[in-house]
Structure 1
């Protein structure tokens, strides 16, 4: 079995590749920029233009489609790029496309999440055997968020928002399990082991990171996205599948 990882240099892709190599799985990274320290075979791929798709998919059995662009060119990469990938997978007769998505995206009014929802639909209707699995936010993302907030002497924190963060390595390990199976369609969400408010998460983070800035709690913002996260639309209490808690991850990193 040969696996192609689009977005193989990203947080999830990189974790998956390391996991695959430990198990002696034949894996190829596809991205626009070659990794400075390549772990394995690399192939140039520009999803926006489609350049490199044919070469990247050569002799590939399974595609882990982890490429994404949450900040800019989101529609071009996550939507149109996924369309191009699907067509190329059909031409190359790829046996299995695995798409890691995000929990609650249909309920969270955010352009990036809308693009992920559209990408899911494209994959479902695309004609390539697929597995879609949604995960909650990664511990590392929340760590980066708090680091960014505390760069300033004074910041605000919408502390009542909920989160169910998960260890990216646990998600990557599960994705590897899915690679060994036949296409499953849409499978159950993969959430972290606990649901916490941002205030609770920050309290833990502050104890171990010791920031110098002052964060002021914010109880209300008239923004629909914040309302949805306060209600926990980005979590799934029935799918606490990850094992490593937020505090355990913080202590290790």
Structure 2
């Protein structure tokens, strides 16, 4: 029997086929494990500062899409991070293309929003706010989070709101009253005093000289797939994924602005 010998072209096609199969299998395994390409490939922390060559970058989520279940579902996290946040970053880069502000930290851009030309100011306000807000949002949540803050942040919450329970109730009430799309915030003013505020759309507290210590996104895309129109259920569930270590770190930063 003559041996079966592949031609050179057949060998090349076979190699190409095996490469494609390997790539597809790797993608299936990543999804099955609840992973995210942004998480797996990240080698550094989130970039909220522009880069003259690349512009602002979508920061990695930092954990698997399904890591916050059952409180926030995997599909919501994937769409929220990979689609909504990515769109804010793209639009922000488009608005600031060839502008000196493109190399500044997004916080500084928002604080100096009135220095921008009027024809791009609204786009930067909306999309720059969306980028800053979400970059914070991913970090102030974590798997197996929740509980209560400790240390200076706990003392400040008690001093300003009477107790953590009172603070939590006021925060949820403010979030439930946001009409349409927006955020509920715990902010610090220049004197270090904490207060609960809300804002429409993607407006950042930075626009008003306030520092966002923590905030919850109450746009419907943050909760509708799981909770439908029951925003109150989402607000209550969210406390199970809060990352108080990161929030306490932000409170420390707020005192230095």
Q: TM-score range by the shorter chain?
A: under 0.3
> More strand per residue: 1 or 2?
1
> More helix per residue: 1 or 2?
2
- Give the number of the structure whose alpha-carbon radius of gyration is greater: 2
TM-score (norm 2): 0.25
